[in-house]
Amino acid sequence: MMQPSLAHVLQPKWRTALQRMREERQNGAGKLVALSIVAALFWLATFGILYFVLRYFRGVEELGPLLAGKLLGLVLLSFASILVLSNVVTALSSFFLAHDLDLLVSAPVDWLRLYLAKLGETLVHSSWMVALMAIPILAAYGVIYHGGWLFAPYAVATILPLLVLPAVVGTAVTLVLVNIFPARRTRDLLSIIALGAAAGIVLLLRLIRPEQLARPEGFKNLLDFITVLRTPTSPFLPSEWATQAIMGYLRGAIDPLPLLLLWTTAAAFVMLGALLHRELFAAGYSKAQEGAERFVKGGAWNWMLHVVLSRLPVAKREFVLKDIKLFFRDTTQWSQLILLAVLVVVYLFNIKALPLHRGEDVGFFHVTLVSFLNLGLAGFVLASIAARFIFPAVSLEGRHMWLLRSSPLDLRALLWSKYWVGTLPLLALALLLTGVTNVLLEVKPFMMIVGLVTISGLTLAIAALALGFGALYPQFETENAAQIPTSFGGLVYMMATIAVLGAVIFVLWQAVYSYVRAVYEHQPVVVDSWMIGWFALAAVICGAATWVPLWVGLRRIEQLEF
């Protein structure tokens, strides 16, 4: 029987992508312009930093190319590790949980085409961000080492197999896992493993303090240092082959072996992956249809929540209870708390590691400045957390709006519940971050009070902005909450929040500066009308940034049609 071509099997995917792009274009150029600016800024920053690092390396005799090669090896190794993790998670969706699978599996499409189509889909979904990230990095190498225009296609030919290999490995891991556990359990398991691994890497990288390793004086002699640099991380790692291929080309000593190794290994892996797929997919796919979780635990928790919330009106109470239950029963949502905990630890560790109280007497000015700037940084961290947890709140209600809109629920109650369910934990975290940081910095009571009050005001505003922008740019079709913050609306929200943070920090600095000056000049600190005026202005900004987004969000939800 004649088989459909691979392009035919993939047709719905690329046609959908094209249609999405067409719709985006029809919606106006504003979004495209904003995204292009952000992407260009990001690329420029990455390119710029690497350009200066590599230019410095090039100036170092002998060691320069070795250092540049080592750096590229590290970057590519990190990319490959991230890609394996991300492919494992993506393969689970594309091979076992996607909506189009029923159609494809029930159609007379052979196993090889199905495998290649889904492998391609997995590869694109999990690798596009890494591929984009690689462009400015490789461009910097090309520019510094005068790779010429031909370097671009050469780099693509080198990187492509490096993307294929993790996709095959990730897919194979998922295939085996699904045959051992049911798919939905596997998804839960994987999201915890992936987040745990990511958190572990972040923690490890921070705790070993890589900045200390950058000092060559730590090595006994120069020869030791060069030996370490010359040794490849492992001669069997594809990322090492890619590094050799690229650095060889840039040094003008082209060796075809690494490139050949990359391509032949990728081809062999695809073949082995396909054979594994032939053996295991049918059984795994069948198993993936089973195994939804049936029973719930946590009766004591539920009872406690009911008691705590008993004073709320019934509609609000049931809404809050529902939101809390859904959050803790959805592994893709609660597991993000692991990453959050690590983020807090790293944050506090960084503050503790600051050389402010080491031996020499660092001035009161520096401590106050760090404590003050910490407000902005903490605000940024809180904004990122709100993007993860509060921004998707309205989007996640999309499919259930028929129920909420056909019931006599006041939409203000809906927004109220969403706001406080998100804000209260965020506020606790904000106070913890600022309070502990200020204790570590040994700031004076004045700055402690200013810090805690400001971060409280900022948290109320940040949560309102997240909810408001989440309602303005809802993503009703997305099933995975973790994807919602990476949308265009998420970007606009982050920009707006950074603007608010900047405004509040600027305004407060006027007041704090007069306090710092008074203490510095050994004058008594006078809380005068000047200071009060600036504090009041900061409060007005926070108030407006809380009220306006909530009001706009409410209007938007009222107008939404489903």
Binding site for another protein (CB under 8 A): 292-296, 313-315, 317-319, 321-322, 325-326, 329-330, 399-410, 559, 561-562
Those residues with Cβ within 8 angstroms of residue 265's Cβ, 6 or more apart along the chain or in another chain: 161, 165, 238
Whole-number Å distance between alpha carbons of 73 and 90: 25
Residue number, 369 or 404, with CB nearest to another protein: 404
**Minimum CB distance to another protein, residue 557 (Å):** 12
Whole-number Å distance between alpha carbons of 283 and 175: 10
Residue number, 212 or 406, with CB nearest to another protein: 406
Residue with tokens 């798919």: 183
**Minimum CB distance to another protein, residue 19 (Å):** 17
Looking at 231-289, list the stretches that DSSP marks H as alpha helix, in order from N- to C-terminal side: 238-250, 256-288
Do 419 and 464 contact (CB within 8 A), yes or no?
yes
**Minimum CB distance to another protein, residue 191 (Å):** 15
**Minimum CB distance to another protein, residue 337 (Å):** 16
**Minimum CB distance to another protein, residue 553 (Å):** 18
CB atoms within 10 A of CB 336: 18
**Minimum CB distance to another protein, residue 399 (Å):** 4
Give the tokens for residue 460.
Answer: 């109320």
**Minimum CB distance to another protein, residue 559 (Å):** 8
DSSP string, 522-537: TPPP---HHHHHHHHH
**Minimum CB distance to another protein, residue 329 (Å):** 4
**Minimum CB distance to another protein, residue 315 (Å):** 5
Those residues with Cβ within 8 angstroms of residue 554's Cβ, 6 or more apart along the chain or in another chain: 411, 412, 415, 471
Give the tokens for residue 351.
Answer: 């503050």
**Minimum CB distance to another protein, residue 296 (Å):** 6
Residue number, 393 or 541, with CB nearest to another protein: 393
Residue number, 8 or 322, with CB nearest to another protein: 322
Residue number, 221 or 406, with CB nearest to another protein: 406
**Minimum CB distance to another protein, residue 105 (Å):** 19
Residue number, 48 or 291, with CB nearest to another protein: 291
Residue number, 273 or 422, with CB nearest to another protein: 422
Angle at 183 between CA 179 and CA 186, to 5 degrees: 90
Whole-number Å distance between alpha carbons of 347 and 341: 10
Residue number, 24 or 188, with CB nearest to another protein: 188
Whole-number Å distance between alpha carbons of 263 and 277: 21
Residue number, 115 or 319, with CB nearest to another protein: 319
Residue number, 15 or 399, with CB nearest to another protein: 399
Whole-number Å distance between alpha carbons of 460 and 547: 9
DSSP string, 78-104: HHHHHHHHHHHHHHIIIIII-TTHHHH
Residue with tokens 């019931």: 407
Residue number, 197 or 330, with CB nearest to another protein: 330
DSSP string, 484-511: GGGSHHHHHHHHHHHHHHHHHHHHHHHH
Residue number, 329 or 517, with CB nearest to another protein: 329
Whole-number Å distance between alpha carbons of 334 and 323: 12
Do 206 and 353 contact (CB within 8 A), yes or no?
no
CA distances in angstroms from 448 to 154, 441, 485, listed in the order given: 56, 10, 32
What sign for the dihedral angle of Cα 436, 441, 444, 450? negative
**Minimum CB distance to another protein, residue 85 (Å):** 25
Whole-number Å distance between alpha carbons of 273 and 508: 59
Backbone angles phi, psi at 323, to 5 degrees: -60, -40
CA distances in angstroms from 380 to 331, 387, 513, listed in the order given: 25, 10, 22
